[in-house]
Amino acid sequence: MRPKRFFLHRPKNLDEALALKARHGDEAAFHAGGTELLVALKAHVLRYEHVIDLKQVDELKGVRLDADHTIVIGALATHDTIANHPIVRERLPGYAELSENVANIRVRVAGTLGGVLCFGEPHADAPTMLSALDAWVVLAGPKGVREVPSRDFHLGEFTTARDEDEILVSINIAPQSRGTRSAYRAFGHTERPAVGVAAVWSTDNPQRLSLWAGAISSRPVRLARAEQAASDIPHGLDAEQTWGRLKDAVAADAASIEAHDDLHGGADYKRHLVSVLAGRAIRACIS
């Protein structure tokens, strides 16, 4: 099915893109990779008179290190670019591995990180890992620039903290200490995860675990009991010993998640997956 006709705009910079949106208002939508928006337009689920293509806006491109070694991922960075970028592979190998396994090669080459975050699809991989990594997004709009923690960016299904007239500029991740490891494990019957779990394990003093589950709910969910239990585990235990001390807390967290039956599986099945995948992600961090 073809989308209905629309005017395509290709601004050269951020100011021009924001001005186009201000001019056309609700009749316009921003377009990045297109793997979500164009599908919705072709299915006539969404309808816009104007589409603002952001691919030529240099401020949204690339991956770099800031002066304080914060990792800055431009909103237009594709999953394939992130998976193979030397900065990400060296400093965030767990996130590089996640990007390497997103959907299929067509989506990885065309789909952008900013696009998938702004679309707000709950069955996505990146939001879960970015929440666990304490990442934050930078938004630019008519009122200026603001920052939003990744864990607060997703408000529900297809709903985010981004205002309609704002553009997501970058996704920022603070420097990781030498004692920090991250891993993401997911399972699904389609190219989208039924459940995904991200773990970030730090052996610094104090020891810390950041553990989040995604796709099971309308937004990433923090597994707080497991995080608290991790702070009481003695240093030096191996992966199996550590998991033995955490699995009851993870199971309690999983049981409390509000899930529902859908095409990705039954609610109880998905809660069970949370425990299984959390065990795999935590073991991967420690081993």
Domain ranges of the chain: 7-53, 63-173, 180-286
Compute the distance between CA of residue 137 and CA of residue 213 in angstroms, rounded to an integer: 19
Q: Strand 71-74 relative to strand 167-173: parallel, antiparallel, unpaired?
A: antiparallel
Residue with tokens 């990705």: 264
Q: Which amino acid is at 173?
A: I
Report CA dihedral (199, 168, 88, 86) to the nearest 10 degrees: 170
Cβ atoms 72, 61 nearer than 8 A: no
Give me the CATH topology for the region 63-173.
3.30.465
| Contact partners, residue 61, CB within 8 Å, separation at least 6 | 74, 76, 77
| Contact partners, residue 280, CB within 8 Å, separation at least 6 | 183, 185, 197
Report CA dihedral (188, 189, 194, 196) to the nearest 10 degrees: 0
| Contact partners, residue 155, CB within 8 Å, separation at least 6 | 120, 161, 219
The token pair at 278 is 């959390």
Compute the distance between CA of residue 2 and CA of residue 43 in angstroms, rounded to an integer: 8
Tell me the pLDDT of the chain (287 aa) as tens digits: 788 899 999 999 999 999 999 999 999 999 998 888 888 888 888 899 999 999 999 999 999 999 999 999 999 999 999 999 999 999 999 999 999 999 899 999 999 999 999 999 999 999 999 999 999 999 999 999 999 999 999 999 999 999 999 999 999 999 999 899 999 999 988 889 999 999 999 998 888 999 999 999 999 999 999 999 999 999 889 999 999 999 999 999 999 999 989 989 999 999 999 999 999 999 999 98
Cβ atoms 181, 286 nearer than 8 A: yes
Helix (H/G/I), strand (E/B), else coil: 130: helix
The Cα-based distances of 137 to 113, 157, 207, 267 in angstroms read 11, 18, 26, 31
One-character DSSP codes across 223-252: -HHHHHHHTTSPTT--HHHHHHHHHHHHHH
Q: Which CATH superfamily, name and number, covers 180-286?
A: CO dehydrogenase flavoprotein, C-terminal domain (3.30.390.50)
Q: Residue 227: its pLDDT value, please?
A: 98
Q: Residue 129: its pLDDT value, please?
A: 98
Q: Residue 4: its pLDDT value, please?
A: 87
Q: For residue 235, with 0-12 CB atoms within 10 Å meaning exposed, 13-18 middle and 19 or more buried, which class applies?
A: exposed
One-character DSSP codes across 76-115: T-BHHHHHH-HHHHHH-HHHHHHHHTSS-HHHHHH-BHHH
**What pTM was estimated for this model as a whole?**
0.94
Q: Residue 124: its pLDDT value, please?
A: 95
Q: Does 3.30.43.10 match the CATH number of domain 7-53? A: yes
What's the chain's length in residues? 287
Q: Which of 43, 44, 11, 45 is nearest to 30 (CA)?
A: 11
The token pair at 195 is 């459940």
Q: Residue 273: its pLDDT value, please?
A: 98
Q: Give the Cα-Cα-Cα angle 193, 199, 204 (nearest 5 degrees).
A: 170
What backbone phi and psi angles, to 5 degrees, belong to 234? -60, 150
The token pair at 91 is 């400093």
